[in-house]
């Protein structure tokens, strides 16, 4: 992800939730840091590294306001990775963090949240800051120390103050900016 451009985190498109008494939304989580881990049950790197790492993050940061969310993003083998199979998988691997099932697409194999975030595959780790912007987006395996350091830094930072809306610069409206023909 380009660090010069901070994208507002798109809302999650979810067809089912597990391990949470009520559905979660990024809008309601504003003010908290969110660690989002996208995985598939049949992804070897997810099973061997990503999910154990996410469970460790849940355990290590349990006394903070970090919200951990697993996102089951199925883009292949759809018939094998059903919500019932996911329930059994979660029990077998003792996954305790909230898990969302990414909403399937009506137009292709890539589920909606995966598409909204431009994910390249699984595992993918995404960290969303207190202000609702994506601070970190990584496809593939990442070291625990890097994830931990990024999370600790964001958790230690206060909620940014809202930016006061001021007058728009000359030639600018809510639709955009135009060149001022009087400036030369």
Secondary structure (3-state) at 101: strand
- Measured between alpha carbons, how far is 96 from 138 in angstroms, rounded to an integer? 23
pLDDT recorded at residue 76: 78
20 band by pLDDT with thresholds 50, 70 and 90: very high
Fold of 14-157: Glutaredoxin (3.40.30)
Task: Give the chain's mean pLDDT.
Answer: 87
Average pLDDT of the segment spanning 11-25: 97
182 band by pLDDT with thresholds 50, 70 and 90: very low
Q: Which residue has the higher pLDDT, 160 or 126?
A: 126
172 band by pLDDT with thresholds 50, 70 and 90: very low
- Measured between alpha carbons, how far is 152 from 64 in angstroms, rounded to an integer? 10
Pairing of strands 176-177, 172-173: antiparallel
**Lowest-confidence segment of 19-23, 119-123, 140-144, 172-176 by average pLDDT:** 172-176
Cis peptide before 126 (omega within 30 of 0): no
pLDDT recorded at residue 63: 95
pLDDT, tens digit, 9 for 90 and up, residues 36-62: 999 999 999 999 999 999 999 999 999
pLDDT, tens digit, 9 for 90 and up, residues 75-116: 877 677 789 999 999 999 999 999 999 999 989 889 999 999
């Amino acid at each position: 992800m380009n660090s010069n451009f901070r994208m507002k985190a798109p809302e999650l498109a979810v067809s089912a939730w597990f391990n949470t008494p009520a559905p979660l939304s990024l809008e309601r989580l504003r003010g908290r840091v969110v660690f989002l881990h996208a995985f598939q049950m049949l992804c070897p790197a997810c099973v061997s590294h990503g999910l154990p790492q996410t469970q460790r993050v849940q355990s290590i940061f349990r006394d903070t306001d970090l919200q951990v969310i697993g996102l089951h993003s199925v883009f292949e083998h759809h018939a094998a990775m059903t919500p019932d199979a996911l329930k059994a998988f979660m029990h077998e691997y003792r996954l305790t963090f909230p898990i969302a099932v990414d909403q399937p697409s009506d137009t292709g194999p890539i589920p909606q949240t995966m598409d909204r975030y431009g994910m390249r595959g699984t595992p993918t780790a995404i960290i969303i800051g207190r202000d609702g912007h994506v601070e970190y987006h990584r496809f593939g395996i990442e070291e625990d120390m890097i994830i931990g350091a990024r999370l600790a830094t964001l958790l230690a930072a206060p909620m940014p103050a809202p930016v006061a809306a001021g007058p728009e610069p000359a030639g600018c409206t809510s639709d955009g900016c135009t060149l001022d023909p009087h400036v030369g």
